[in-house]
Structure 1
């Protein structure tokens, strides 16, 4: 069984930043990732543009050079790959963590789909993009339904229903519309989401105003069939012809492993009840949280930009313990 000072779960930008800090501290570490490098970013829409500037996405002091003020998904994937190469980070990809157990006061055992590890510390940097929030309605499991939107070309000349009010839904509606899809946008609330990118909001509002995209507010899809969907509004319930459903209903962290360890994040937990905001150590000594997982169900609280500091906080604390 391989032994480490630190095992980091998740090779996203924050997991990588943790690996860089571990290496700087001279600690023996490994990053374990169930998918590809920066797996969540890899699964973002192909043409997605970040809200932030490239400088705010940098890790390890490596400049992120973009040809535009705001970089896109493809530039980010390439940037983080080059960072991994520069620091020669030890990352085991396509290796899913199956179980984490604390076996003594100073040691964990981690079992993955490929091997087992012993480690003094575990950093959980798993993000939230892997677990969609389901609608739990009839037909949600049909092949025509997706909770992950990638490329608009698939939807050319099709009847498409997009569910959601924030950036992922609005981007999907606009991009598929421009590929010739007949788009219907279904929004649970009375308006477009407040987090929609400021340069996108006028575009979607004008497309709705001009009737190019049909939008139903205060509405929800209540059933999906092979060739239609059923929509309920405050005034009526009706059936609409449909070929594809893009359900951008949001995502949540996978809390099961944390709960098994005795870390119990609730839907809206107080940070200090689960982890120390100065060290990022949880109520279970040696177990740390980093990145967006720290926000629990509030997935708008932490981003790459404001959670990069977690890596420094964690490894200052671990390095101090290591010297004792």
Structure 2
């Protein structure tokens, strides 16, 4: 039986960073990822541009070279997957962790095998579970919670739900490929977190009427040929519709966290962890990356959670 010093669940940028820090500390480790390397980034829209500059996305002091001022999805895939190859990171791909049990050490059960470790780090992100609207018709085939590119929506009537970066990108890109776009926005304005070079574009398209937008609005029902919603005046609208792009955000796997014994707190279901060590209420079980924010998925991202790996390995090294 192999007993690893640490098992890292999730092979995203922060999970890879944890692996590199474990290697630096001389610890044996295994990364277990249910998809490909940096699977969440792989599933981002094909032409997505990051808000951050390349240097803010670097891990382990390995330079991220990008010819563009802000790198895109493909640049990030090349960078992180290149690191995995060059540094020969010990990672199992397409293997989902089903259960983590604390015994004398940890037992980690997956879809393929069972593993043992002294410590476990959960760095699973939040992109796998859509934040659903819970409205009638949301399960129709025309409703998409993921958006990759605009071409399937050319000359179609599109409803985009949301006002964050993903919603704005989907609205602008499909509009420019000939779609008739209506945005249904729960808040009173376009999100302040929208990329600063994109925000004026969407606001001007709305102002000139190229893209319709309803603020303080709520979706009531989706039918095969229409979408029904009410606006800020409580007026109910039913408009013709071919596709609904529900860019309503994503959530961590709270059931998995709870099954691991991690306490969830408050309305945002923030998982408990010690900010000085990133250790949860379960001794030897740590959190890293965006999963730390619970429902507040804008709290942590690559740029400000890279430090988690160093904090965790510093604590683990003193206890093994």
Specify the TM-score bucket, using the shorter chain as the normaliser. over 0.9
Mapped to 2, the partners of 1:17 and 1:134 lie a distance apart of: 31
Mapped to 1, the partners of 2:296 and 2:91 lie a distance apart of: 28
Aligned residue among 207, 213, 216 for 1:215: 213
Deviates more, 1:312-321 or 1:273-282: 273-282
Mapped to 2, the partners of 1:87 and 1:190 lie a distance apart of: 47
Residues 37-72 of structure 1 deviation map (CA, whole Å, 9 limit, x = unaligned): 101101110011100000000011111011111101
Paired residue for 2:96? 96
Mapped to 2, the partners of 1:209 and 1:276 lie a distance apart of: 46
TM-score normalised by structure 1 residue count: 0.96
> Does the alignment pair 1:115 with 2:113?
yes
Paired residue for 1:247? 246
Gaps of 5+ in 2: none
Q: Is residue 15–residue 288 contact of structure 2 (8 Å, CA) maintained in 1?
A: yes
Mapped to 1, the partners of 2:263 and 2:277 lie a distance apart of: 18
Paired residue for 1:142? 140
Paired residue for 1:85? 85
- Residue pairs, 1:1-324, within 5 angstroms: 1-104=1-104, 107-235=105-233, 236-268=235-267, 274-322=272-320
Q: Is residue 97–residue 111 contact of structure 1 (8 Å, CA) maintained in 2?
A: yes
Mapped to 2, the partners of 1:152 and 1:224 lie a distance apart of: 21
Mapped to 1, the partners of 2:297 and 2:267 lie a distance apart of: 10
Residue 186 of structure 1 deviates from its aligned partner by 0.4
TM-score normalised by structure 2 residue count: 0.97
SS at match of 2:264: coil
Residue 2 of structure 1 deviates from its aligned partner by 3.8
**Aligned Cα root-mean-square deviation (Å):** 1.3
Residues 236-282 of structure 1 deviation map (CA, whole Å, 9 limit, x = unaligned): 112111111000111111121221232122355697x8111111111
Residues 123-150 of structure 1 deviation map (CA, whole Å, 9 limit, x = unaligned): 0001111111100111101111111110
Q: Is residue 162–residue 247 contact of structure 1 (8 Å, CA) maintained in 2?
A: yes
Write out the 4+ residue segments of structure 1 that deviate beyond 4 Å after TM superposition.
267-271
- How many residues align? The count is 319
Mapped to 1, the partners of 2:277 and 2:267 lie a distance apart of: 20
